[in-house]
């Protein structure tokens, strides 16, 4: 009788422990899903953006309300995290590209042609950074070209060459930076006057990035 009683007690304890473990597992799973879901989606929206907060065309991404008073929380968080002080999108457009036109990650082990088909009369600049936004150390001290300093080809296009080794024309050295980021900034008075011309042919207005070769 005593043996039966202790076995029954053990069974009861086992059942309770199993039920408690089940409950704890359920809650742990729920909390894990909530944390991963909440933080993961927030991180993605802040880091990569979405059509709510960015404008994209090919590899180029621009945060629509950068530095503006009416900036959405994702844009505010993005630039606070980045530690950058962007030009207000009320007066200029700043586009970032981390891939080429084919979607391949920009890397210093490859050479690229960047072609701006119709530079227009607006002030623009094209600069190359590493993945963290740091300038790439190079002996030529070349990091960017602007509408003031770029040499245009006879047909009016701007052609820049991104490569480790020196090349003729508008060469932007990439050294051994690893992953690259190209930043294209455009200050256009038509944006400040709000003519809406900025929506026309976005792909035409942005430089094309083509991979030439890789080592």
Site of interaction with another protein (CB under 8 A): 22, 25, 30, 33-35, 37-39, 41-43, 45-46, 67-69, 71, 73-74, 76-77, 79-88, 90-92, 96, 121-123, 125, 127, 129, 132-137, 141, 143-149, 181, 183, 185, 187, 189, 192
Minimum CB distance to another protein, residue 188 (Å): 9
Taking the least distance from each CB to another protein, the nearer of 16 and 81 is 81
- Contact yes or no for 184/206 (Cβ under 8 A): yes
Which residues on adjacent β-strands are paired with residue 173? Answer: 163
Taking the least distance from each CB to another protein, the nearer of 13 and 80 is 80
Minimum CB distance to another protein, residue 189 (Å): 6
Minimum CB distance to another protein, residue 72 (Å): 9
Taking the least distance from each CB to another protein, the nearer of 6 and 56 is 56
Minimum CB distance to another protein, residue 132 (Å): 6
Taking the least distance from each CB to another protein, the nearer of 63 and 112 is 63
Minimum CB distance to another protein, residue 70 (Å): 9
- Contact yes or no for 160/126 (Cβ under 8 A): yes
**What is the spatial order of strands in the sheet that 54-57 belongs to?**
54-57, 60-63, 92-97, 180-187, 123-130, 144-146
* Rounded CA Rg of the chain: 27
Phi-psi region for residue 94, left (φ > 0), alpha (ψ -120 to 50) or beta?
Answer: beta
Side-chain half-sphere of 40: how many Cα atoms within 13 Å?
6
Taking the least distance from each CB to another protein, the nearer of 6 and 118 is 118
Which residues on adjacent β-strands are paired with residue 185? Answer: 94, 125
Minimum CB distance to another protein, residue 150 (Å): 10
**Rounded Cα gap, residues 29 and 25, in angstroms:** 6
Taking the least distance from each CB to another protein, the nearer of 25 and 105 is 25
DSSP, collapsed to helix, strand or coil, labels residue 141 as coil
């Amino acid at each position: 009788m005593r043996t039966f009683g202790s076995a029954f007690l053990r069974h009861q304890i086992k059942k309770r422990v199993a039920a408690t473990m089940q409950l704890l597992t359920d809650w742990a799973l729920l909390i894990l899903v909530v944390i991963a879901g909440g933080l993961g989606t927030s991180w993605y929206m802040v880091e990569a953006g979405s059509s709510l907060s960015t404008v994209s065309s090919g590899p180029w991404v621009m945060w629509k309300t950068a530095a503006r008073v009416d900036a959405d929380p994702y844009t505010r968080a993005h630039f606070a995290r980045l530690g950058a002080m962007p030009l207000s999108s009320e007066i200029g457009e700043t586009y970032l590209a981390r891939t080429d036109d084919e979607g391949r990650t920009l890397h210093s082990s490859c050479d690229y042609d960047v072609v701006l088909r119709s530079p227009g009369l607006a002030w623009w600049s094209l600069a190359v950074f590493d993945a963290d936004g740091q300038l790439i150390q190079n002996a030529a001290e070349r990091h960017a070209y602007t509408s003031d300093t770029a040499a245009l080809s006879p047909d009016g296009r701007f052609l820049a060459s991104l490569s480790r080794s020196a090349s003729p024309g508008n060469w932007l050295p990439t050294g051994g930076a690893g992953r690259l980021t190209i930043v294209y900034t455009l200050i256009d008075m038509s944006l400040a006057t709000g003519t809406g011309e900025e929506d026309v042919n976005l792909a035409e207005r942005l430089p094309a990035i083509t991979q030439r070769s890789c080592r």
